[in-house]
Structure 1
Amino acid sequence: MPKRDAQPPTVMLVSNSSFFLYNFHRGVIEGLRDSGYRVICLAPADAHSQRLVDELKVEHRALGMEGKGTSLVGEGRSLLSLLMTLLKLKPRYVLNFTIKANVYSGLACRLLNIPYTNNVSGLGTAFLHDSWLFRRVRALYGFANRGARCVFFENRDDQALFMRLGLQKSTPSVVLPGAGIDPERFAFTPQPVGPPLTFVMVARLIADKGVREYVAAAERLHERYPQARFWLIGPSGISNRTAISDAEITQWRERGVLHYLGEQHDVRPFLAEANILVLPSYREGMPRTVLEAASMGRPAIVSDVPGCRSSVLPGTTGWLCEAGSTESLEQQLQACLELPHDALVMAGQAARARIEAEFDQKIVVRAYLGCLQHTLEQASRKSVLASA
């Protein structure tokens, strides 16, 4: 912990969205702030940027970075913006989140000799699809990781893949329980007594999350189970190569089966009213929406892919379906529609117990603070030796 009578060391968190930092890593931000560090969030400006300042009481700096941008000029500007910001603010340590931030900020930190960590919160489009461009991205990712003090993963599948592809080499790595959950903020609530049985999917509206499969399965089931409700919550207009257009979303709403509720700053009231969370994603790090739902006592249907499969205990706290398969998801949704209420209650209670035992955000905060403090102590010892 930094000395209170000294100028607090600056720690910078870099991400491709303020939304991501506010919603997924507020525990780390608060832990750093409460430990006496000066915390700066460097991310593109969005609706959550001011919330970082007003609610979490840390600083925000706007970063020019587009999630789906691929032009050399635009990406060069992003890297230059990072370099100039790091030179100006001179952070003692940098925590990187999301692929572009890991790569670009990692490269910039290596160039400027600033210690940093990368957080692999999911592999994203660059690993789900293959092309010359994405192969180059993966090579740069490996170079950035090899200069990090530590690489944090959110599931063992991703860690093993990076090792197999040589994207990490000898850099130390740690598998964390996702971003962790505050079990008090996401407090347990009893299962609603139906009918109707309500499914809810909380995700960015991009194809790689399995949104289309969810919509198609809901529409197939509607004829047989007209009382069932299918909710979709999440931001549209995402900067991603697989983003779903507003026109397609409008068509879904007009057909009258799916209830699209838009982006919600607080999903807790909706999770409390729902029975089961659904996330048929193609790949995740550790899906926070599943953990939030579990903390509130909601089981989940997730796809049998890295990250998602680790977020549930199949048959106990949730169920698995095949990724990319509307038929498989439809079958699992139907099986849940036919479950007795007591079975949903037991699954929800088991999900909550697992959160308390394995996914408390205190575990994650301790890991980040430990890595940071170890690095700063090493730097202090070297400084003392150099001046002796």
Structure 2
Amino acid sequence: MNILLITNTAASIFNFRLRLIERLIHDGHIVYLLLPKTDASRISELNQLGIHVVFYELNRSSVNPFQAVVTICSMIKKIKEINPDITFSFFPKPVIFGTLAAHYAGVKCNYSMLEGLGYCFTRRLEADSLKKKILRHSQVLLYKLALPHSRCVIFLNDDDRREIIIDNNVRVKCTYVIGGIGVDLNKFSYQPLPREIRFTMVSRLLIDKGVREYIKAANYVREIYSNVKFDFVGGIDDNLGGVSKTELKSWIDEGHVNFRGVSNNIHEVLTETSVFVLPSYREGVPRSTQEAMAIGRPIITTNVPGCKETVIDGVNGFLVPPWNAQALAEKMIYFIENQSEIERMGKESRILAERKFDEDVFCDKLIKILLG
């Protein structure tokens, strides 16, 4: 079969879809990738993997309706040239534009996956701005236009499914809650703990990831335990809700958290970590947390959609309320004062990862949906 994957970055393929593509190619399918022209830097690597790459026009930050029409028309033309048997779109813009384009290009078997709902559907303590409300309403309308043309809409957690399908009355043919996308449990094998206590957060520098709460909690803990280390791994993001360079500089100047920037070796980062922290306001099911669990690290995360799927409270870590730096700091201090719990809960994380987050099990489910 000719199978077309539609996405918005090459990085999403390298980070999240390589195993799926390897298995599809191994089974004799021809895999195409529809990718924005602006993301052509790793084209040779993709070709070497046996993927046929085709480009379309996309402005990732634009909300201009005319630009959206240009994007869809560009995609329709390319999809007709490829003539796929199946399309599989993931992430919001590719799901909306890709599903519509595939439908108008005459493809009958179109599948979509929403790996989290993003900025528009993420709640904060303060009331949503008018701009955010308009963006959310617009996105719901686009889902109502696009998703009925998908044979199945796949979600990572049931909260996301309910919010889109039930709360916003989006009609679809079929939905499936697949769970976390999983990790390579051999690559991310259990690792011994480092000698010194180190808390680590890995994410983009977005407010909705809970970066501010992490910084506040680290500052509080370091007033009591000045020898404890705090790392942040990830870079500035120009998306809506990104942390400004000015705010980042102020955190760096405070000196309580070591900002390591973007890392190409997350395995090494996690091996140096004692406790993994993600105080996000909402997720699909976070991959970085799954990786930390696989190598045997306890987790402190928030009791919100997506994050709560990774922790059994008190077993492999702790669930804390969102937006609450004090509660986060208290759980950090618990691990500092009860260091034997780091190893115990870390081992429970590995057990849970083996049960819930095996990448090949995820691929089995996804391939069955796409080809079944």
Q: What TM-score does the superposition give when structure 2 sets the normalisation length?
A: 0.91
Matched, 1:216 2:216: yes
Matched, 1:67 2:80: no
CA apart distance, 1:256: 1.5
Q: Which residue of 1 aligns with 2:282?
A: 283
Q: Which residue of 2 aligns with 1:110?
A: 103
Distance 1:335 1:61, change over 3 A: farther
In structure 2, give the amino acid aligned to 1:370.
Answer: K
Distance 2:158 2:80 in 1: 35
Distance 1:358 1:177 in 2: 8
Q: What do the CA deviations read for 1:96-116 (whole angstroms, capped 9, x no partner)?
A: 111111111111122223221
Q: Which residue of 1 aligns with 2:125?
A: none
CA apart distance, 1:332: 2.1
In structure 1, give the amino acid aligned to 2:281.
Answer: Y
Distance 2:189 2:119 in 1: 33
More moved, 117-126 vs 71-80: 71-80
Distance 1:47 1:251, change over 3 A: farther
More moved, 42-51 vs 22-31: 42-51
Distance 1:20 1:337 in 2: 36
Q: Which residue of 1 aligns with 2:29?
A: 37
Q: Which residue of 1 aligns with 2:72?
A: 79
Distance 1:141 1:246, change over 3 A: same
Q: Which residue of 1 aligns with 2:250?
A: 251
Q: Indicate which of 358, 361, 366 corresponds to 1:360.
A: 358
CA apart distance, 1:119: 0.7
Q: Which residue of 2 aligns with 1:229?
A: 229
Q: Which residue of 1 aligns with 2:10?
A: 18
Distance 1:150 1:170, change over 3 A: same
Number of residue pairs aligned between Structure 1 and Structure 2: 362
1:24-173 to structure 2, matched below 5 A, reads 24-44=16-36, 45-46=38-39, 49-50=42-43, 52-53=45-46, 56-114=49-107, 115-128=109-122, 130-173=132-175
Secondary structure, aligned partner of 2:4: strand
Distance 2:266 2:95 in 1: 28
CA apart distance, 1:67: 3.5
Distance 1:69 1:334, change over 3 A: farther
In structure 2, give the amino acid aligned to 1:338.
Answer: E
Identity of aligned residues (%): 28
Secondary structure, aligned partner of 1:277: strand
CA apart distance, 1:259: 1.0
Whether the aligned pair in 1 keeps the contact of 2:153 and 2:172 (CA below 8 Å) is: no
Distance 1:56 1:318, change over 3 A: farther
CA apart distance, 1:313: 1.1
Where does the alignment leave 5 or more consecutive residues of structure 1 unmatched?
1-8, 375-388
Distance 2:77 2:235 in 1: 31
In structure 2, give the amino acid aligned to 1:120.
Answer: L
Q: What do the CA deviations read for 1:314-362 (whole angstroms, capped 9, x no partner)?
A: 111121111122222222222222222x211111111111111222112
Where does the alignment leave 5 or more consecutive residues of structure 2 unmatched?
123-127
In structure 1, give the amino acid aligned to 2:137.
Answer: R
Q: What do the CA deviations read for 1:47-106 (whole angstroms, capped 9, x no partner)?
A: 873475166442333443343321233333332332222122222211111111111111
Distance 2:55 2:247 in 1: 31
Whether the aligned pair in 2 keeps the contact of 1:299 and 1:318 (CA below 8 Å) is: yes
More moved, 169-178 vs 279-288: 169-178
Distance 1:166 1:216, change over 3 A: closer
Secondary structure, aligned partner of 1:261: strand
Distance 1:259 1:293 in 2: 19
Whether the aligned pair in 2 keeps the contact of 1:22 and 1:51 (CA below 8 Å) is: no
CA apart distance, 1:161: 2.1
Secondary structure, aligned partner of 2:312: coil
CA apart distance, 1:311: 1.2
In structure 2, give the amino acid aligned to 1:317.
Answer: N
CA apart distance, 1:168: 4.4
In structure 1, give the amino acid aligned to 2:356.
Answer: E
CA RMSD of aligned residues (A): 2.1
Distance 1:273 1:49 in 2: 29
Distance 1:371 1:358, change over 3 A: same
Q: Which residue of 1 aligns with 2:266?
A: 267
Whether the aligned pair in 1 keeps the contact of 2:207 and 2:243 (CA below 8 Å) is: yes
CA apart distance, 1:286: 0.6
Distance 2:44 2:224 in 1: 43
Distance 1:24 1:351 in 2: 21
Secondary structure, aligned partner of 2:89: strand
CA apart distance, 1:10: 2.2
Q: Which residue of 2 aligns with 1:379?
A: none
Distance 1:186 1:226, change over 3 A: same
